[in-house]
Structure 1
Amino acid sequence: MVWQGKVHEFSSNLGLVKTIDISSNNLTGQIPNEITKLHELLRLDLSNNSLVGEIPRDIGQMAELLTLNLSRNMFSGEIPSSMSKMNRLNDLDVSYNKLSGRVPSSTQLQSFPPERFTGNVELCGLPTAKKCLEDEDQGVPPVGDSKGDAEGTGELQRWFYIGGATGFATGFWIVCGALLLNRRGRHAFFNFMIA
């Protein structure tokens, strides 16, 4: 690295780096695979550059990563399946690239808002709005779209109202019965209401 006119080489202490933010620098080329060896890295921001190629397959080895922003580049190919192992990731943005295929299944990746995946025309599967071809071939209905879901919701709502009405009627008659049978309680209640 050239810094203040001097060439500096980082090798042994590179593993201590916690944050790399080289966003908006007009960088070109591919992400070097060696970056995946930075196992202690917490934040990586390569957004708003002109990076190409695929996201490194072994990016999932960066298990400590909390923030990963690869948005607004020209990455292509699929999101590596190893990313489903990144359990600590709480901020991900891969929007506006040329990514394709299914978003790997994991509770972590599916928890991000769809906007973090927009601008990738060929990307499909949750949390994106686009269904994958395999899902359409198998006849997998989208969540909340099937007739059975609507019927189940109507049935649940009907029982909710029946239960609510029954509970109200029971409570009403318990209070009225207690007031009718308990003379002292009835007088105290009416004195309280008048006061």
Structure 2
Amino acid sequence: MDIHRFNGKGLRSLNLSRNSLTGYIIPDIGKMEMLESLDLSHNQLSGEIPTSLAQIHTLSVLDLSNNNLSGKIPTGTQLLSFNPSAYAENDGLCGDPMPKCPEDRLRPPTTYPREKLNEKNGSIFSFMQEVAIAMGFGIIFGFWGVIGSFILKKSWRITFFSLLDAIGDWIYVRIVVFVSKCRRS
């Protein structure tokens, strides 16, 4: 095969780790559209991660650790979903999932992740925990509000059970009338 004509489009896995490679990751790496696994770890690669790498939607394994990469990890891509260990030991690399870049620290955040939101508000509970607690209190106070009033107020208890008896009698009469009409037909 002529190496100059090799484009790597059908390549599924590329492992060039521990080869003392220098230079930068080629900007056209995104043309390897079928690539599922890329390991370039433990080399001396430098420069930024090409944005074209984010165009490889089939990429499920990535290891760029232990190089000299720098700059911001391309945002808005699946590259942000990889474990931080995929980018470890690249002192100049920043951005999610690695530590923030210096320019990001100067800008105030516009949104807060859920974990940070609770720290910001000083709350020790998540939203769902707060909902569960509120429902628990509602059930307890609602239940004991009704039962407690029946225990403490004899007149309410008598009225309530009289109402239940009346409803039961009404339902019984309706069923008997309905059954007798059905038998005549």
Q: Which TM-score bucket, shorter chain as reference?
A: 0.5 to 0.7
Tell me, in whole angstroms, the C-alpha distance in 1 between the residues paired with 2:28 and 2:35: 13
Tell me, in whole angstroms, the C-alpha distance in 2 between the residues paired with 1:172 and 1:91: 56
Q: Identity over the aligned pairs, expressed in percent?
A: 35
Deviation at 1:109, TM superposition (A): 0.7
Instruction: Report what 2:71 is aligned to.
Output: 101
Instruction: From the two aligned structures, give the one with the greater helix fraction.
Output: 2
- Residue aligned with 2:21, SS: strand
Tell me, in whole angstroms, the C-alpha distance in 2 between the residues paired with 1:107 and 1:172: 53
**Paired residues of 2:118 and 2:126 also in contact (CA < 8 A):** no
Tell me, in whole angstroms, the C-alpha distance in 2 between the residues paired with 1:52 and 1:172: 74
TM alignment of 1:143-158, pairs within 5 A = 143=113, 144-145=115-116, 149-151=120-122, 154=125, 156=127, 157-158=129-130
Q: Is 1:50 paired with 2:16?
A: no
The one-letter code sitting in structure 1 at the alignment partner of 2:47 is G
Instruction: Report what 1:193 is aligned to.
Output: none
Q: Is 1:133 paired with 2:105?
A: no
Q: Deviations over 1:5-36 (max 9, x none)?
A: xxxxx13xx7xxxxxxxxxxxxxxxxx9x76x
Tell me, in whole angstroms, the C-alpha distance in 2 between the residues paired with 1:123 and 1:155: 32
State the TM-score, normalizing by the size of structure 2: 0.67
Tell me, in whole angstroms, the C-alpha distance in 1 between the residues paired with 2:144 and 2:10: 63
Select which of 81, 91, 94 maps to 1:121: 91
The one-letter code sitting in structure 2 at the alignment partner of 1:96 is N
Tell me, in whole angstroms, the C-alpha distance in 1 between the residues paired with 2:134 and 2:118: 23
State the TM-score, normalizing by the size of structure 1: 0.63
Deviation at 1:114, TM superposition (A): 0.4
Give the direction of change, closer, same or farther, for the CA distance of 1:153–1:60 in structure 2 (3 Å limit).
Answer: farther
Deviation at 1:108, TM superposition (A): 1.4
Tell me, in whole angstroms, the C-alpha distance in 1 between the residues paired with 2:102 and 2:93: 11
Tell me, in whole angstroms, the C-alpha distance in 1 between the residues paired with 2:134 and 2:104: 38
Deviation at 1:106, TM superposition (A): 3.5
Instruction: Report what 1:159 is aligned to.
Output: 131
Deviation at 1:149, TM superposition (A): 4.1
- Residue aligned with 2:54, SS: helix
Give the direction of change, closer, same or farther, for the CA distance of 1:101–1:173 in structure 2 (3 Å limit).
Answer: same
TM superposition outliers: structure 1 runs of 4+ over 2 Å:
139-160, 164-174
The one-letter code sitting in structure 1 at the alignment partner of 2:108 is G
Aligned length: 148
Select which of 3, 6, 9 maps to 1:39: 9
| CA root-mean-square deviation | 3.3
Instruction: Report what 2:38 is aligned to.
Output: 68
Instruction: From the two aligned structures, give the one with the greater strand fraction.
Output: 1
Larger CA Rg, structure 1 vs 2: 2
Tell me, in whole angstroms, the C-alpha distance in 2 between the residues paired with 1:147 and 1:44: 42
**Paired residues of 2:30 and 2:55 also in contact (CA < 8 A):** yes
The one-letter code sitting in structure 1 at the alignment partner of 2:132 is F
- Residue aligned with 1:50, SS: coil
Which runs of 5 or more structure 1 residues have no equivalent in the other structure?
Answer: 1-9, 15-31, 175-179, 183-195
